[in-house]
């Protein structure tokens, strides 16, 4: 089983949903992190199971207070242990924390130039869902410059409705990453994650994948992330 986004240990800073994955073992127990999508159930001892972004069905074996507040297609970043010590599919886990990731918008517009285009450096991007009752999502990791002023940074993906070649001849849908720093000072590099629900138009059978274009900080930085379904 190929596991990319189900990782041992890690640190999540909820303010910016910043992720720094690492390996950690406390008192002989491994802790795992994963991006997941909740799916509500009926007739089960647990309200939800979860579908990890690696397409693993994750089943909670102990009650965790936050699970009771979740609905189908809520996106979360979870930390948990695996009592069996083995990643299987499905896998039974005991959660130690759940952080809900707010869904971000893909803005369809005839005036794309009116939306912010502040700098952001692409890091990685992946597609998930479409199985076990979970909808499909695009998740993007990126780095921006910020300060501790408390200024809110706004993010979205922009779908230029005036484009005549979208999707392109190879079947890729092109979107632009919009970052509005709201004039925050550029003091620290912060890596954040945004997750976007995908409409059917972005996942139709004829669509091969998605390309997201950035306005990068440095000349020569690769300014496009590509995901192939």
Terminal alpha carbon distance of the chain = 18
Express the helix, strand and coil content of the chain in percent, nearest 5 each. Answer: 5, 45, 50
Q: Are 58 and 23 within one domain?
A: yes
What is the C-alpha separation between 69 and 72, in angstroms, rounded? 10
Which domain range does residue 221 map to? 106-228
Tell me what pLDDT residue 87 has: 85
Tell me what pLDDT residue 24 has: 54
| The two three-digit tokens of residue 217, written as one number | 């900080």
CB 32 within 8 A of CB 79: yes
Average pLDDT, rounded, for the chain: 87
The answer to whether residue 166 sits within a structural domain is yes
The answer to whether residue 40 sits within a structural domain is yes
* φ and ψ of 130, to 5 deg: 85, 5
Tell me what pLDDT residue 26 has: 64
Look at residues 101, 132, 148 and tell me which one is the last residue of a structural domain.
101
Look at residues 44, 79, 101 and tell me which one is the last residue of a structural domain.
101
User: Which CA distances in Å does 154 have to 49, 104, 157, 183, 184?
Assistant: 31, 10, 11, 11, 11
Tell me what pLDDT residue 65 has: 84
Cis check: omega of the bond before 72, within 30 degrees of 0 = no
Confidence of residue 210 (pLDDT cuts 50, 70, 90): very high
More confident residue, 11 or 209: 209
Tell me what pLDDT residue 3 has: 38
Q: Are 110 and 95 within one domain?
A: no
The string of pLDDT tens digits covering residues 14-58 is 223 332 233 356 666 889 999 999 999 998 989 999 999 999 999
Strands across the sheet containing 172-180: 106-109, 154-160, 172-180, 209-213, 224-228
Q: Are 110 and 51 within one domain?
A: no
* pTM for the structure as a whole: 0.87
Look at residues 84, 101, 118 and tell me which one is the last residue of a structural domain.
101
Q: Are 169 and 71 within one domain?
A: no
């Amino acid at each position: 089983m190929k596991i990319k986004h189900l990782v041992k240990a890690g640190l999540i800073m909820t303010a910016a949903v910043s992720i720094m994955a690492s390996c950690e073992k406390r008192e002989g127990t491994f802790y795992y992190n994963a991006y997941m999508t909740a799916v509500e159930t009926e007739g089960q001892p647990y309200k939800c199971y979860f579908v990890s972004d690696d397409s693993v069905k994750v089943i909670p074996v102990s009650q965790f207070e936050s699970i009771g507040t979740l609905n189908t297609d809520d996106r979360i970043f979870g930390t948990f242990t695996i009592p069996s010590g083995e990643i299987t599919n499905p896998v039974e886990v005991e959660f130690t924390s759940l952080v809900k990731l707010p869904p971000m918008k893909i803005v369809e517009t005839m005036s794309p130039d009116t939306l912010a285009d502040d700098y952001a450096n692409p890091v990685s991007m992946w597609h998930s869902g479409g199985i076990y009752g979970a909808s499909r999502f695009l998740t993007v990791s990126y780095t921006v410059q910020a300060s501790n002023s408390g200024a809110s940074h706004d993010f979205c993906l922009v779908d230029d409705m005036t484009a005549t070649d979208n999707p392109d001849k190879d079947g890729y849908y092109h979107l632009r990453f919009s970052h509005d720093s709201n004039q925050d000072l550029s003091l620290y590099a912060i890596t954040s994650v945004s997750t976007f629900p995908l409409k059917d138009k972005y996942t139709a059978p004829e669509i091969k994948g998605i390309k997201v274009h950035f306005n990068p900080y440095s000349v020569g930085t690769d300014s496009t992330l590509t995901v192939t379904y």
